[in-house]
Amino acid sequence: MKRLDAHTYVDGVRGGDRAILARAITLVESEQPAHAELAQKVLETLLPETGGAYRVGISGVPGAGKSTFVDALGTMLTDRGHRVAVLAVDPTSTISGGSILGDKTRMSTLSNDPNAFIRPSPTSGTLGGVARKTRETILLCEAAGFDVVLVETVGVGQSETIVAGMVDFFLVLLIAGAGDELQGIKRGILEVADMLAINKADGDNRQRATRAQASYQSALRLMRPGVEPPVVTCSALEKTGLSELWALIVESRRDAEASGELQRKRQAQQVQWMWDMIEDALRHALRGDPELSALITQLEDAVGTGRATPSAAALQVLRRFAERAGDALKRG
């Protein structure tokens, strides 16, 4: 395939060319240094055209029906004239390095919608991969004219709180009727959630969903007094409650814009993004230097066997890294 230059990427993304957008996302996901330099040129040029979308993160407990929910919500929004991008953060196949959950097959309606774009993104096995690639993909989708960006997390580990730090609104999807509703819900998720939505509130499960709603509301009053997020019920299958849910997201966005909170939040996210990138680059630099990598391996063994403290080992690595960086500057 012919390599594209920065102007071709920029013009294609601006023009809403889905094939070019897909290739631009592949470019920012690449680990090759030459691709990284080109990707930054594209992003810097497109940056003034970003920031206008609703950025909504969606996580949930296993079995909550996230993909069915995203399919139903996204279709409702495109029917209203929105252009919706779905970024599904998937675990990475250890063999191929690609996405293995196949979200397009689980969002059958939305995947065939001309006003929607679905991108399953591999995490590269690291949370840093989630942060860097998904953030840059959000910017590309906004520049391509998508005014709603939904980021669906894999729902395990710390990926939820990382995604919460790159969106404007974080929605946690739950279900009722699975035993103690509060069991298995990580406290950290409830602390960053802007809304809890109890899905599958249909048929015989409707009353259980209503009872679960009351339980969560009580729990949140104790955990987050004065700022507890709304708890709603919905059914992605019957497409009920979605309009009310979206109205609350729109109201939250309107209030955040009016108070200046949205701008402050995004500015803080940008600064955190910068530091995440610095830390990620330093980690790669440490591991990529043969001498430092060998030293780190020795110190990991020493710390693990109790022959060195973590603090002393870290200080030794940092001192040697600073020395080698100073030597490189002198040679330059």
**At 303, which CATH number?**
1.10.287
Q: pLDDT-based confidence at 156, cuts 50/70/90?
A: low
- What is the per-residue pLDDT across 315-329, written as a single tens digit (0 to 9) for each? 999 999 988 877 766
Q: What is the pLDDT of residue 185?
A: 59
Average pLDDT score over residue span 168-172: 95
- What is the per-residue pLDDT across 233-276, written as a single tens digit (0 to 9) for each? 999 999 999 999 999 999 999 999 999 999 999 999 999 888 88
Mark which of 196, 229, 258 sits at the end of a domain: 258
User: What is the rounded CA–CA span in Å between residue 167 and residue 269?
Assistant: 9
Token pair 């709304």 is at which residue? 230
Q: Are 41 and 24 in contact (CB under 8 A)?
A: no
User: What domain range is 294 assigned to?
Assistant: 270-331
Mark which of 258, 284, 304 sits at the end of a domain: 258
Let me know whether 191 and 307 are in one domain. no
Contacts of 70 (CB under 8 A, 6+ apart): 58, 86, 107, 110, 150, 152
Let me know whether 313 and 252 are in one domain. no
User: What is the rounded CA–CA span in Å between residue 206 and residue 210?
Assistant: 6
Average pLDDT score over residue span 133-147: 94
- What is the per-residue pLDDT across 86-132, written as a single tens digit (0 to 9) for each? 998 754 433 344 443 444 556 888 989 999 999 876 555 455 556 56
Query: What's the pTM?
Result: 0.86
Let me know whether 194 and 58 are in one domain. yes
Domain total of the chain: 2
Average pLDDT score over residue span 125-154: 82
If we measure between CA atoms, which residue out of 235, 222, 214, 213 comes closest to residue 187?
A: 222
If we measure between CA atoms, which residue out of 194, 191, 174, 192 comes closest to residue 183?
A: 174
Structure tokens at 225: 């007094």
41 occurs within a structural domain: no
Let me know whether 64 and 209 are in one domain. yes
Dmax over Cα atoms in the chain, in whole Å?
73
Q: What is the pLDDT of residue 89?
A: 74
Beta bridge partners of 151: 57, 87
18 occurs within a structural domain: no
